[in-house]
Amino acid sequence: MLPKFLSFLFLVFVTVLAEEKDVLELTDETFSHELERLENTLVMFYAPWCGHCKRLKPEYAKAAELLLGNDPQITLAKVDCTESGKDTCNKYSVSGYPTLKIFSRADFVSDYNGPREAAGIAKYMKAQVGPASKELTGESCLKSFLESDEVGVVGFFEEKSSSLATSFHAVSKKLKEKVRFAHTTSKSLLEKEGHKNTIVLYRPKVLQNKFEASTVKYEESVGDIEEFINKNYFGIAGVRTRDNVAEFKNPLVVAYYAVDYVKNPKGTNYWRNRIIKVAKDFPNLNFAISSKDDFLHELNDFGIDFVKGDKPVVLAKNAKNQKFVMQDEFSVDAFEKFLKDLEADSLEAYLKSEAIPEDNTGNVKVAVARNFDDIVTNNGKDTLIEFYAPWCGHCKKLAPVYDELGDKLADEDVEIVKCDATAKDSKNSPVKYEGGRKLDDFIKYIAKHATNELKGFDRKGKPVKPKSDEL
């Protein structure tokens, strides 16, 4: 048994080394010397025990591999702040892990504020160190630029100083962290491509399909260049990742399945093309595909624990941010019906909610998503509501005080309510209570702010005698 055990350890060790072979390890002794010989370097300052660092490391290693051979040169490096890099980490005021910083030679340039996924890291760094738009001098340059899995935008200009070229370069500088730009004034390239004084958005080969054009042309008469790019960048159904999630706006329909353009591009496009086939007829909705593993938290928010099988699960949000779940198993027909019902506003919105309590007659009412309007919004009373988490220590400490408050105000025209915030969707934004957590604090606050003066307390929260006792 011993030889097998030793062999297993050796194989694991080799695998770990292979994963990070393109990331340069720096120490206090080597930091300045190594950076001085490197054109551009992204440095990760980390601690071995840090969970966020452990999650970032494989993505960081993949990004380093993606950047091999880049022009200009970009190197990814790391420094262990707990051992051989303590002094360097102190020098650059590293106080949390991981901290990423960009260097040009040995000079600090800026903190890294980009994505934390491999492709996003590589794309961000390319935008930081290279020109906003790459100049193409010939056919081979254009071919090389378009050999990418990302969208590319190319400006074809007869004159370098034309108004269109000037506007193009202004937009390229603004969007360089998101979009790959290139431009040319080569007469032979303009003639061969048949483009003069125009801008062309090229979809990467891996995302091309028969339902939408692989290139989209911009003409000066169209209007704003940035708007043109934003409108066409993702196509009919964009690939939505953790890094670009903020760019997809409601009303949004998302299909969640095993999206993986590295290991299974053919299988990924099999379902994406079916999504697009239907989505192209619903121009008023936005569409995307997302990895079911990367967005498990979103699935959970819609009441779905996991996605069974290969078929997509479809979820949607309308312009009012209401949630909708396609209940039927995915098919082109079922998807089309879901979208028609969504546009017709005939679907029941999903609400994350506990069951409505069978007995809700206590002096502290219980609100859940499904009875929230009845218990809180439309009860005709001033309402104090506590949003709590069952595991929260402060909430547990407050519970007996809150129950006593309910008893004290049982005869008042005020409702005291509690709601488990971990088990419901938020529906509105009430006025936040900023007072203390003692019984007298609550009473004083309610007495002061109640629409009608309380029967048992004056506006300062002091008890008042019943009228029968005044005789």
Report the DSSP beta bridge partners of residue 110: 102
- Catalytic residue, chosen from 81, 89, 141, 395, is 395
- Catalytic residue, chosen from 81, 89, 141, 392, is 392
Structure-derived torsion over alpha carbons of residues 145, 279, 293, 119, reported in degrees to the nearest 10: 10
395 is a catalytic site residue: yes
81 is a catalytic site residue: no
DSSP 40-81: EEEEEEE-TT-HHHHHHHHHHHHHHHHTTT-SS--EEEEEET
Specify whether the backbone of 97 is left (phi greater than 0), alpha (psi in -120 to 50) or beta.
beta
Apex CA 228: angle with CA 185 and CA 245, to 5°?
Answer: 120
89 is a catalytic site residue: no
Based on C-alpha coordinates, what's the Rg of the chain? 30
**Contact in structure between 66 and 118 (CB atoms under 8 Å):** yes
Apex CA 179: angle with CA 174 and CA 185, to 5°?
Answer: 85
d(CA 121, CA 113): 10
50 is a catalytic site residue: yes
What is residue 353's DSSP assignment?
Answer: -
Q: Tell which residue, 211, 231, 322, has the closest CA to residue 273.
A: 211
Q: Tell which residue, 79, 77, 75, has the closest CA to residue 27.
A: 79
Pairing of strands 323-325, 313-317: antiparallel
Q: Which residues are CB-neighbours of 181 under 8 A, at least 6 positions away? A: 132, 133, 134, 152, 153, 154, 155, 168, 172, 175
- Catalytic residue, chosen from 53, 81, 89, 419, is 53
Peptide bond before 72: cis, by omega within 30 degrees of 0? yes
Q: Report which residue type is found at 97.
A: Y
| SS3 label, residue 350 | strand
Helix axes 439-449, 393-408, angle to 10 degrees: 60
**Contact in structure between 388 and 420 (CB atoms under 8 Å):** yes
Active-site positions?
50, 53, 392, 395
